């Protein structure tokens, strides 16, 4: 059985929609998921550098700025004899949309001339991303293999086998050169790849779209994490030919470098402290593709926001439709992002232009989100060819009972009910503010949903809400991170938020480097399960922000400290997910071997952590900004509220437009202490592997 190729240890270089994935030595080998990808097509499957027919010995690599990576290696068989290497190779790879350039500098500190033949073997298979992900490439049952080689310094390739059609690839430069490096001198060689892909759906997004604040923090992990995250987020910007320059974030490298409803919405929502233009670009791009009809094959329904967008010129068995709507939460998240962009001060005229799409989205919530009429939102893939699970935990085995049994669909997820409550309230606020009818009806809907939720979801004697309701309306009683998404939605009262905070703050949930997706005391728990025990950066940040806003700084601080520790372990580029092992048993988080990086919502999690630390909650239409910082809050220059640059220092926000008032929350008894205290409290919490009493 073919296995999805591992990619946690590959080095990405990115300028969406183009990305290069190589080994840590800089070599791109004809195996796994290595290669240069452009718009869901692998346009280069081999790029191996040799000197005199031998591969140089790698010693390290480092980022060389946005869209660039430097790989350093040695040729110890050249130059002076002795223990110190005298011939070093610096290979700098730069990626632009539709192009890759490499500059190879051979530096000699030898006292004699060094002569060598430099070659770069290249090949292209034009494999669609779905085939690469399946693990079938190179197994003998496909027509890809190495693909055509490029020779004599210049090469072109068109369609090959079952590859993506219409793609033209050209490579030129120093692919075979004999050079002499003078004593203590250097020689620089260059080669470049360019791609022409007329059928590509994804195009490079325009520059801009969010600010880049300056941050000073006592914990330097935060500043380094933000720096790398903002570089990655800039590189993930995309648009399409029909989106008139509107920019959104591609979900992640390599599998998800396209428009995703849920992922792109969450990432844009996390980025609101840096400006609202990215949010509006994302909202408009998704509104242009909003559902208009019922289609079981694609999951489309009137008013529904799509799940993902792919190119339509690829035919791969088992592939989802090019425009796929199999998501239960993207429509709700779209409504709340529109509301939040308005609250952060986006131009009301541009918000008003999206009110018809808002009303259509609310129509989906009223008419199509609850097919069995039980008062809860649920999903079921009727075709058997779409996603079996359609919340953010969309793997087939993500919804499990405490004893490990997999729940049967239809599934009503806990967090989705919270999203629906929040979307109804947010939609009502927008309808009222812009003089549209229906606000009171949606507030009544939210109140009724909260009452139903209170009666159906709480388990374990009322200690925490269930993960979901299954086909038989039975609570799926595993303790999971899903319930953390309820914080801040309004569906919980203060007492219920306290119970959720206590459950999530337990060692079984918060004992790793962040928040586990499932409690270590549940039967389905495994530290390297995709959704049943691993840790996701965006999930942890969302819950930490909810805890901070609800007044639980210790629990929030513990999760933030875990994220910063993970960021440091992964070179300050938070991957899609990583292992949920205990911090008391292992000194650094273990990689999830098929984890994408960079990932939009993992990178944007750093911005949400910053917002949660500062406790910023603006309501620009009301002229109010609420501030509730956590201990040791950083100093930040260049945030954006209502389009104005604002600064935060010593608990004070400055730079707001005239007429705004600042409301500072009263510090609660729970808020004493520092981030280090929260981390120490975690160490004292005990061994989380013990069963939950």
pLDDT in tens, 405-464: 999 999 999 999 999 999 999 999 999 999 999 999 999 999 999 999 999 999 999 999
Please tell me the pTM assigned to this model.
0.94
Percent of the chain with pLDDT over 90: 88
What is the b/e burial string over 597-617, where b = at least 16 CB atoms within 10 angstroms of the residue's CB? Answer: bbbbbbbbbbbbbbbbbbbbb
User: 144, 163 in Cβ contact below 8 A?
Assistant: yes
The per-residue pLDDT for range 453-510, each reduced to its tens digit, is 999 999 999 999 999 999 999 999 999 999 999 999 999 999 999 999 999 999 999 9
- C-beta separation of 418 from 334 below 8 A: no
pLDDT tens per residue, range 148-167: 444 333 444 444 444 566 89
Per-residue pLDDT tens for 117-148? 999 999 999 999 999 999 877 543 344 434 44
d(CA 468, CA 466): 5
Domains defined for the chain, CATH in brackets: 11-196 (2.70.98.40), 224-235+507-583+590-693 (no CATH), 256-365 (no CATH), 370-375+391-504 (no CATH)
Side-chain-side CA neighbours of residue 594 (13 Å): 14
Assign 317 a pLDDT band (cuts: 50, 70, 90). confident
Structure tokens at 334: 């779209």
Above 90 in pLDDT, residue 337? Answer: yes
> What is the per-residue pLDDT for 209?
85
- 185's CB contacts (< 8 A; 6+ apart) are 108
The Cα–Cα gap between 359 and 424 comes to: 11
- At 364-398, the pLDDT tens digits run 999 999 999 999 999 999 999 999 999 999 999 99
Rounded to whole angstroms, the Cα distance separating 268 from 272 reads 7
Question: Whose structure tokens read 């812009």?
Answer: 434
3-state secondary structure 521-572: CCCCCCCCCCCCCCEEHHHHHHHHHHHHHHCCHHHHHHHHHHHHHHHHHCCC
Looking at residue 562, what is its pLDDT? 98
Tally the C-alpha atoms within 13 A of residue 258's C-alpha that lie toward its C-beta.
21
DSSP string of 356-400, one letter each residue: HHHHHHHHHHHHTS-TT-SSS--B--SSSSS-S--SS--STT--B
Report the pLDDT value the prediction gives residue 166, as an integer from 0 to 100.
Answer: 84
Sign of CA dihedral 7, 11, 16, 17: negative
pLDDT digits (tens, 9 = 90+) for 550-583: 999 999 999 999 999 999 999 999 999 999 999 9
Task: Report the alpha-carbon distance of residue 405 to residue 402 in Å, rounded.
Answer: 7
> Encoding tokens for residue 574?
């938070």
Distance CA 149, CA 340 (A): 51
If pLDDT is split at 50, 70 and 90, which confidence band does 668 have?
very low
pLDDT for residue 312 is more than 80: yes
**Contact by Cβ (8 Å): 507, 544:** no
Round the average pLDDT of the chain to a whole number and report it.
92
């Amino acid at each position: 059985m073919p296995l999805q190729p591992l990619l946690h240890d590959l080095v990405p270089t990115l300028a969406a929609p183009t990305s290069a994935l190589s080994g840590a030595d800089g070599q791109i080998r004809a195996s796994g998921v290595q290669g240069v990808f452009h718009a869901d097509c692998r346009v280069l499957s081999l790029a191996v550098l040799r000197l005199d027919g031998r591969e140089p010995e790698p010693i390290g690599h480092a980022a060389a700025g946005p869209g660039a990576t430097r790989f350093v290696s040695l040729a110890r068989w050249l130059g002076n004899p002795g223990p110190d290497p005298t011939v070093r190779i610096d290979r700098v790879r730069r990626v632009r949309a539709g192009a890759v350039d490499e500059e190879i500098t051979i530096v000699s500190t030898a006292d004699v001339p060094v002569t060598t033949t430099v070659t770069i073997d290249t090949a292209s298979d034009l494999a669609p991303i779905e085939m690469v992900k399946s693990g079938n490439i190179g197994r003998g049952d496909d027509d890809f293999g190495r693909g055509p080689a490029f020779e004599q310094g210049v090469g072109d390739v068109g369609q090959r086998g079952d590859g993506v059609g219409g793609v033209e690839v050209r490579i030129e430069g120093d692919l075979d050169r004999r050079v002499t490096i003078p004593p203590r001198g250097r020689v620089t060689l260059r080669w470049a790849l360019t791609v022409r892909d007329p059928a590509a759906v994804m195009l490079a997004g325009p520059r801009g779209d969010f600010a880049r604040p300056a941050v000073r923090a006592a914990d330097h992990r935060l500043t380094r994490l933000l720096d790398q995250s903002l570089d990655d987020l800039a590189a993930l910007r995309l648009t399409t030919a029909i989106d008139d320059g509107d920019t959104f974030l591609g979900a992640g490298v390599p599998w998800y470098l396209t428009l995703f409803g849920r992922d792109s919405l969450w990432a844009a929502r996390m980025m609101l402290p840096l400006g609202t233009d990215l949010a509006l670009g994302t909202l408009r791009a998704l509104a242009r593709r909003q559902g208009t009809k019922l289609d079981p094959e694609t999951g489309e329904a009137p008013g529904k926001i799509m799940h993902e967008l792919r190119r339509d010129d690829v035919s791969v068995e088992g592939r989802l439709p090019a425009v796929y709507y199999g998501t239960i939460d993207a429509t709700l998240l779209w409504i709340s992002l529109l509301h939040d962009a308005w609250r952060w001060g986006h131009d009301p005229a541009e918000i008003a232009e999206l009110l018809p799409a808002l009303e259509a989205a609310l129509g989906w919530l009223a008419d199509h989100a609850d097919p069995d009429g039980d008062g809860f939102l649920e999903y079921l893939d009727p075709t058997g060819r779409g996603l079996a699970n359609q919340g953010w935990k969309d793997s087939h085995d993500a919804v499990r009972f405490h004893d490990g049994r997999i729940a049967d669909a239809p599934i009503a997820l806990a967090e989705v009910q919270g999203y629906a409550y929040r979307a109804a309230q947010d939609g009502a606020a927008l309808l009222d503010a812009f003089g549209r009818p229906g606000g009171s009806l949606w507030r009544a809907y939210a109140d009724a949903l909260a009452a139903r939720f209170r009666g159906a979801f709480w388990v374990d004697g009322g200690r925490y809400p269930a993960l979901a309701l299954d086909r038989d309306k039975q609570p799926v009683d595993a303790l999971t991170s899903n319930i953390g998404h309820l914080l801040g939605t309004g569906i919980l009262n203060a007492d219920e938020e306290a119970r959720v905070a206590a459950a999530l703050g337990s060692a079984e949930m918060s004992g790793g480097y962040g928040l586990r997706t499932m409690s270590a005391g549940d039967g389905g728990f495994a530290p390297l399960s995709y959704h049943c025990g691993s840790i996701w950066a965006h999930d942890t940040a969302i819950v930490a922000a909810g805890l901070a806003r609800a007044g639980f700084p210790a629990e929030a601080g513990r999760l933030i400290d875990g994220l910063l520790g993970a960021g440091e372990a992964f070179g300050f580029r938070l991957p899609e997910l990583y292992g949920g092992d205990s911090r008391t048993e292992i000194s650094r988080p273990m990689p999830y071997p098929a984890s994408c990086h960079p990932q939009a919502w993992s990178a944007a999690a750093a911005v949400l952590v910053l917002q949660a630390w500062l406790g910023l909650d603006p309501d620009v239409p009301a002229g109010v900004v609420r501030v509730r910082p956590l201990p040791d809050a950083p100093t930040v220059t260049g945030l954006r509220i209502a389009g104005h640059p604002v600064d935060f220092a010593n608990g004070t926000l400055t730079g707001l437009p005239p007429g705004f008032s600042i409301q500072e929350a009263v510090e609660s008894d729970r808020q004493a202490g520092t981030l280090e205290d929260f981390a120490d409290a975690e160490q004292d919490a005990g061994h989380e592997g013990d069963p939950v009493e």
